[in-house]
Structure 1
Amino acid sequence: MTDVEPALGAGPLLLIAAAAVGVLLFLIMKVKLHAFLALVLVSLAVALAARVPLEDVVTVMTTGFGSTLASVALLVGIGAMLGRLFEHSGGAQVLADSLIRRFGEQRAPLALGIAALLFGFPIFFDAGLVVFLPIVFTVARRLGGSLLIYGLPVAGAFAVMHAFVPPHPGPVAAAGLIGADIGLVLVFGLLIGVPTWFLGSYLFGLWAGKKFELPVPTILSGEAKTADDAPDPSVEGSSPGIASGRTGTDTDTATRPAPPRFATVISLLLLPMLLIFLNTGLTTLAAEGVVDEGSTFVRWGQLLGATPIALLITVLVAMWVLGRRRGDSGAEVESVLNSALGPVCAIILITGAGGMFGGVLRASGIGAALADVLGDIGLPVIVAAFVISALIRVAQGSATVALTTAAGLIAPVVQATDGLSSVDLALIVIAIAGGATVLSHVNDSGFWLVSRFFQMDEKTTLKTWTVMETLLGTIGFVLALVLSLFL
């Protein structure tokens, strides 16, 4: 990052920061300017207002943008490809059906939620929810009871994984911006995310299902089929591609291979996590002097467990196991992978622009000024991270934008705070994720996605989805705060 001597005092710099956030939200929410353009424009305005030398403005902006993309673009792109392969092969259906058989019908909501947690590791919230909805509707129709009993644990699982766990863009970008280790963020994201989901989504879903009797919608009628119900393409309105996890790119239903086995899906989902844990474990052991950090084994283990390499290896294995070995041609597999990249391009660019915004804030001295203020009022960094993220989430809606923007704002504070360990940095990322999850309402696309697919009115959605999201974010933050006191 280019070092620029601050030209203004703390007071004016903080006013610029507040105005920048306000203008950013105004441009995105009211003017409906694309978030990418809004972030670039506001970054330029902040650099000029903070009197960054004109010859350094572009360098400061592009340095923040490039450094963020260096850590984000590979993970998001490869992660999207992996998720698309699971969707294309019918992995979601296999997970749901197998877990329900193992858990039993009485624990069907738990089985569906666990399947969503597993499937949510590589796939984004919107895509994962849409893929799982036909399965949720089928199970709810078969077993009876309110749709919320089955739907909220699934929706909450994807929301938790999307906000708390790499390789999703929000936590990846936040980790990169504040310098947290991706492996530790993954460890604590799972360690905190799973109990957070159980308390705030699964148990709340059971309660909400008893309080709000919500029938199974007909919006996907005929689309959801179970493993025992062979899809009938002759029935009008049926969509066997959605039921099996395949998409409209498949042209010959009769020749589709059987979906992958449950053990295959689980193995592929566990592979990147095990490789990343290998990297983190070897790095920790080397730092403690237990193993020789210069040994060939440690160096190769760290390389193979680096998050981009771990995901790359998993995608290559999945291309064979879920594609070529099951009869897909090389061209078909390439088409599936290519279809995954289009939807995430905007996310990657917005994330990079959020890094640009954070880079400008750091270079202009705004972060150091904010650190001084937080130090004067005695607000712990992890608490400040949650509060800032929650405010941005409430104001503009997107969890990913809230994660990225809040991380950019808090990163200079983190850098100016002495004594923060690698564990502290990872837990700060989780706290930011918690703030970026709370209070989903009408400016959040997830709010409308759940509302419309579940066919709930806005009032019921606020009482169910919004409350659940607030529970998830708050519980996740509290768990991160408690761990930060003891680790």
Structure 2
Amino acid sequence: MPFVVLILGIALLLFLIIKVKLNTFVSLVVTSIAVGVGLGLPMTQIATSIQDGIGSQLGELSIVFGFGAMLGRLVADAGGAYRIAHTLIQKFGKKRLQLAIVLASFIIGIALFFEVGMVLLIPIVFAIAMEAGVSILYLAIPMAAALSVTHGFLPPHPAPTAISAVLGASAGHVLLYGIIVAIPSVIVAGPLYTKVAKKLVPDAFNRTGNLKALGPQKEFTLDETPSFGISVLTSLFPVILMAITTIYQLLFNCGSLPKHPSTLDSIIAFIGTPAISMTISLLIAMYTMGWARRFKTPQIMNTVEEAVKSIAMLLLVIGGGGAFKQVLIDGGVGDAVMKLFSGSNLSPLILGWLIAVVLRIALGSATVASLTAAGLVLPLMQSAGVNPALMVLAVGAGSLAASHVNDAGFWMFREYFDLTVKETLLTWTMLETVIAVVGLICVMILSIFI
């Protein structure tokens, strides 16, 4: 019975989002109520589950997402992202343009949300493709692969940070293992898959794209942008702080904070938590991308406020995903999943990946799919003793698979690069699926050693 209710709940959510075109957050809350009733939860318990789900999901994450958006916008508006992309491309030359695009997208993708990173990078990709005389899609596929990998695997991005909180994984460990998984994933789905895509849809590589879809663009000259070094340092500062904590704890404390920590242990652990690392990084960005460039405080605050507006609905959607997850857990779906697969020979990592894939195909949103899957696999992970960081990456990989017509990323890619639906399926959808499969393979290999 719990599975029937779950399937009907997912169908209702899909219907509300796609057919009725109801707002995703509203759809999640309505579906959570309907599923709670279907699972037999008392009316008062349904309300409590929804409140607890939203509250627990947005506790620390609201700081991480809010400050992350502010940091990314500061780097973008100061011209730091423009400097990073152009410097790498200048250094690597025409023959290694794809590698330059991958590195630029990876660095910028860590600091910015997927959609923001794509909007920021596409004009640069258009300009480089025209200057170098290469196909726009030749550079767009590696760019999209790198942005997707950071979105799916690396904190402080919404999905991996949120799943880490649900599964009780160290954000530092997820970041460390995530980079190991991300590198082969982006190579295979980016430069290597481009060769396959060119054979599948050769006509698509002749398109000139649709830059008008991005709206008015802010133009920079290199002289007015910050230096390459300070731009990279500012963008990667949250990652650097988390990496310092993780490496320190691995070297001196067996991977975790000791029962009786020293002052240094406490300080290192403190700066590596996602909320604190983002707070410190934002203050650094306000200086390097603002005051140091002689921007007035009101101008900096305007950038910060605009950044918050861009993620307000994302925060609500993540909260709604948390509500849906909590109702499923309180209604016994998680326990039912554990019983169903208790005799299965499949690894919990593969099961987590499969559940995320099914939810991604059904719901479209990678973030909602990963949050829902995390709630369902939590009891499986605990009973099997699986490393939580690896489970985060397995679920994250599954949540990227098979992006199609119910995912905003699909339509963004189609519109910007002037593709048909079929061409988008054979480029965007396939590269996302390749990332998901390669990501799972890398996680399974890591599980042998961790």
Q: How does 1:84-483 map to 2 (within 5 A)?
A: 84-209=73-198, 212=202, 214-215=205-206, 217=208, 219-220=210-211, 241-244=217-220, 258-284=224-250, 285-287=252-254, 293-415=260-382, 417-420=383-386, 424-483=387-446
Conserved in 2, the CA contact under 8 Å of 1:140 and 1:216? no
TM-score, normalization: structure 2?
Answer: 0.93
Separation in 1, partners of 2:196, 2:324:
41
Separation in 1, partners of 2:258, 2:336:
41
| Aligned equivalent of 2:45 | 56
Alpha-carbon shift at residue 287 of structure 1 (Å): 4.2
Separation in 2, partners of 1:383, 1:281:
28
Alpha-carbon shift at residue 219 of structure 1 (Å): 3.3
Judging changes above 3 Å, is the alpha-carbon distance between structure 1 residues 272 and 462 closer, same or farther for their aligned structure 2 residues?
A: same
Please list every run of 5 or more consecutive structure 1 residues that lacks an aligned counterpart in the other structure.
Answer: 1-11, 224-236, 246-255
Conserved in 2, the CA contact under 8 Å of 1:131 and 1:242? no
Alpha-carbon shift at residue 118 of structure 1 (Å): 0.3
| 4+ residue runs over 6 A deviation | 288-292
Separation in 2, partners of 1:137, 1:55:
54
Query: 1:78-111 CA distances to partner (integer Å, 9 max, x unpaired)?
Result: 1111110111011121111111222122111210
Conserved in 2, the CA contact under 8 Å of 1:145 and 1:209? no
Structure 1 counterpart SS, 2:266: helix
Alpha-carbon shift at residue 55 of structure 1 (Å): 3.7
Letter in 1 for 2:40: R
Alpha-carbon shift at residue 412 of structure 1 (Å): 3.4
Judging changes above 3 Å, is the alpha-carbon distance between structure 1 residues 332 and 257 closer, same or farther for their aligned structure 2 residues?
A: farther
Query: 1:314-333 CA distances to partner (integer Å, 9 max, x unpaired)?
Result: 11011111111112110000
Query: 1:258-305 CA distances to partner (integer Å, 9 max, x unpaired)?
Result: 101001112113322121122223444324699785210110111112
Over the matched positions of the two proteins, sequence identity in percent amounts to 33
Please list every run of 5 or more consecutive structure 2 residues that lacks an aligned counterpart in the other structure.
Answer: none
| Aligned equivalent of 2:7 | 18
Letter in 2 for 1:26: F
TM-score, normalization: structure 1?
Answer: 0.86
Separation in 2, partners of 1:219, 1:17:
40
Conserved in 1, the CA contact under 8 Å of 2:370 and 2:395? yes
Q: How does 1:25-104 map to 2 (within 5 A)?
A: 25-104=14-93
Conserved in 2, the CA contact under 8 Å of 1:435 and 1:473? yes
Query: 1:199-252 CA distances to partner (integer Å, 9 max, x unpaired)?
Result: 11122224534762524626338x9xxxxxxxxxxxxx9x6x53339xxxxxxx
Separation in 1, partners of 2:148, 2:256:
38
Structure 1 counterpart SS, 2:426: helix
Structure 1 counterpart SS, 2:21: coil
Choose between structure 1 and 2: higher helix proportion. Answer: 2
Structure 2 counterpart SS, 1:180: coil
Letter in 2 for 1:192: V
Query: Which protein is bigger by CA-based radius of gyration?
Result: 1
Alpha-carbon shift at residue 60 of structure 1 (Å): 2.3
Conserved in 1, the CA contact under 8 Å of 2:75 and 2:235? no
Conserved in 1, the CA contact under 8 Å of 2:257 and 2:269? no
